[in-house]
């Protein structure tokens, strides 16, 4: 099967050109454009970040499966609702809990994206929370690295910048993000020299903007002078990375519960009215989407379990968050539910 060609949002091009022609700013943006990532210190205060982590743990305890943050004997995989890669909650309206929207609406989180895209009129992804219990206590996860980019090879240029709001410590021994430093600017060159051929089974609606790499591809990036970096950050720090940057998540050796919120903002004008209506519908149904805020809008659907060989909805699934966000005008515009 040949790789499918995707729409490449031509309207993005003028902004993209402007970004590429930038001169040095003397701030974190210089790091970002050179290295493909940057850490913005104290986007949230440490106190706020710790409160949001507490909210996330309260949410995890709300399923009544036995997990209690204060009793490490209860830190077991079987005491948690279903998740992906050990801690990403794609269901249960997790992305729409009030604390998640409080994070997305916080000026300290929005401001770096506004600066990057040079507009205050942004839309945000309905990414989710990642709460990963330490493998030193719950046992090993499948920790095989999964180096990838979250941008389809056909979608050339800078189109999306992803973010992690750290609610817990991400030191050298803690779980965290690994990036191939300086790989983002080499995206087009890599795929020119290594065109995607053959079956692409990962290419589904949900994973349209995704490409997994093989070991030899890491060698290619290393030969270009790139290096693997474990990104360290403190509670309240915002990590930004270009969606063309090779990356993956690494499990930690410490006994901390890795707690992060994924946030991605792009200019609202990049979203078509058709896509906005899709996004509005997803928002109103408390669905979780991909990292992309303005396009590639697909739901992860309801959580499923198998009962007697039949796939049925997970009885733990929820139609709405337990604490709903306050739908302010700002929130509704970020959500795409209201146009600017
Ligand atoms: Fe990713």
Report pLDDT digits (tens) over 164-180. 999 999 999 999 999 99
CA of 79 to the centre of ligand 1 (A): 26
CA of 170 to the centre of ligand 1 (A): 17
Angle at 284 between CA 281 and CA 286, to 5 degrees: 110
Average pLDDT score over the chain: 92
Among residues 216, 150, 200, 253, the alpha carbon closest in space to that of 4 is found at 200
Give me the percent of the chain exceeding a pLDDT of 90.
85
CA of 315 to the centre of ligand 1 (A): 28
Q: What pLDDT does residue 20 have? A: 52
Residue 338, burial from CB neighbour count under 10 angstroms (0-12, 13-18, 19+): middle
CA of 157 to the centre of ligand 1 (A): 17
CA of 105 to the centre of ligand 1 (A): 22
8 A C-beta contact, residue 260 and residue 161: no
Question: What are 65-100's pLDDT values in tens digits?
Answer: 999 999 999 999 999 999 999 999 999 999 999 999
What are the structural domain ranges in the chain? 28-334
- DSSP letter for 153, please: T
CATH 2.60.120.620, domain 28-334, yes or no = yes
CA of 70 to the centre of ligand 1 (A): 31
CA of 71 to the centre of ligand 1 (A): 31
Q: What pLDDT does residue 11 have? A: 41
- Total Cβ atoms within 10 A of residue 170: 27
Q: What pLDDT does residue 300 have? A: 85
CA of 149 to the centre of ligand 1 (A): 6
CA of 66 to the centre of ligand 1 (A): 30
CA of 309 to the centre of ligand 1 (A): 32
CA of 243 to the centre of ligand 1 (A): 8
Mean pLDDT computed over 298-325: 95
pLDDT of residue 39 exceeding 70 = yes
Chain centre to alpha carbon of residue 55: 19
Give me the percent of the chain exceeding a pLDDT of 70.
93
SS3 of 212, please?
strand
Q: How far is the C-alpha of 262 from the C-alpha of 122, rounded, in Å?
A: 16
Place 5 in a pLDDT band, splitting at 50, 70 and 90: very low
């Amino acid at each position: 099967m040949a790789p499918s060609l995707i729409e490449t949002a031509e309207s993005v091009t003028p902004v993209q050109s402007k970004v590429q022609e930038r001169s040095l700013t003397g701030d974190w943006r210089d790091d970002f454009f050179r290295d493909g990532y940057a850490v913005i210190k104290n986007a949230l205060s440490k106190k706020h970040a710790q409160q949001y982590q507490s909210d996330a743990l309260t949410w995890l305890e709300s399923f009544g499966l036995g997990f209690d943050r204060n009793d490490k004997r209860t830190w077991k995989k079987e005491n948690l609702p279903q998740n992906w890669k050990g801690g990403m909650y794609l269901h249960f309206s997790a992305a729409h809990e009030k604390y998640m929207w409080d994070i997305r609406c916080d000026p300290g989180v929005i401001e770096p994206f506004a600066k990057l895209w040079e507009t205050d009129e942004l839309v945000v992804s309905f990414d989710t929370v990642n709460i990963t219990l330490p493998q030193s206590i719950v046992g090993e996860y499948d920790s095989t690295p999964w180096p990838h980019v979250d941008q389809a090879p056909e979608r050339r240029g800078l189109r999306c910048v992803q973010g992690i709001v750290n609610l817990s410590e991400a030191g050298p021994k803690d779980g965290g993000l690994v990036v191939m430093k300086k790989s983002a600017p080499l995206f087009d060159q890599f795929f020119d020299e290594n065109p995607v051929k053959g079956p692409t089974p990962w290419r589904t609606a949900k994973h349209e903007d995704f490409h997994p790499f093989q070991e030899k591809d890491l060698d290619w990036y290393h030969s270009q002078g790139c290096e693997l970096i474990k990104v360290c950050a403190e509670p309240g720090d915002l990590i930004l990375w270009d969606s063309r940057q090779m990356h993956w998540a690494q499990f930690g050796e410490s006994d901390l519960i890795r707690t992060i919120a994924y946030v991605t903002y792009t200019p609202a004008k990049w979203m078509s009215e058709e896509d906005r209506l899709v996004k509005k519908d997803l928002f109103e149904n408390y669905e979780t989407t991909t990292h992309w805020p303005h396009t590639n809008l697909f739901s992860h659907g309801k959580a499923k379990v198998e009962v007697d060989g039949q796939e049925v909805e997970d009885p733990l699934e929820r139609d709405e968050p337990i604490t709903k966000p306050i739908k302010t005008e700002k929130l509704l515009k970020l959500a795409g539910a209201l146009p600017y």
